[in-house]
Amino acid sequence: MAFIVEDGTGVPNANAYIDVPFFTEYFETRGVVFTEDEETIKTWIVQGTDYIEQVFGWRLIGTKMTTEQGLHFPAKFAYTRSGVLLDDNIVPALLMRACAEYARRARTGPLIPDPLTDATGYIVVTTRKKIGPIEKEFQVMGSSGPMLIRSYPQADSLMTDLLNYAGGGTRVIR
């Protein structure tokens, strides 16, 4: 699949909120340099964008501009939590920064890893306890309900202003 960056016009089939130059500049400004090739970085960016759409998609502010666009943004009627109405033809800067942060984390593995389950479908959690010289490892079976999504505090905090309130729905600004 091609690497298609959303440019604020509602690009059909877009699968990335940022391009490689944005990613590179964002991290170089912060003193982080990546030596991986451009194709590898594009893969991370797509994974970061997928994470945003899968985890936050239903809570993102505003409404898609068109039904044909590949990603949630650009969006109309997008009021931030702080009450600012975003322009209809942009990908918010906070979203782009968050995408870069999620993409960076995709470097080390899946952002939403499959849970380890036993034969009955229950989630297995391995715990290790150490008290003095004694160390014990054991497994606890969790529910087979929805899995918990891993959090990435630095990137998640960038998303806060772009999310609807916990109850979802529409917010009235007077």
- Residue 87 contacts residue 33 (beta carbons within 8 Å): no
DSSP secondary structure string for all residues of 31-52: T----S-HHHHHHHHHHHHHHI
Chain segment 74-119, per-residue pLDDT in tens: 999 999 988 999 999 999 999 999 999 999 999 999 898 777 676 7
Question: What is the reported pTM?
Answer: 0.80
Average pLDDT over residues 33-43: 96
The residue range of the domain holding 63 is: 20-112+152-162
Residue 41 in domain? yes
Residue 70 in domain? yes
Distance of CA 156 to the CA centre of its chain: 8
Residue 45 in domain? yes
Of 27, 23, 30, 28, give the one whose Cα is nearest residue 5: 23
Residue 14 in domain? no
Chain segment 137-157, per-residue pLDDT in tens: 655 555 544 456 778 999 999
How do strand 75-76 and strand 63-64 relate by DSSP bridges? antiparallel
What's the number of domains the chain is made of?
Answer: 1
Using DSSP's 3-state secondary structure scheme, residue 118 falls into coil
Tell me the CB-side half-sphere exposure of residue 139, using CA atoms within 13 A.
Answer: 7
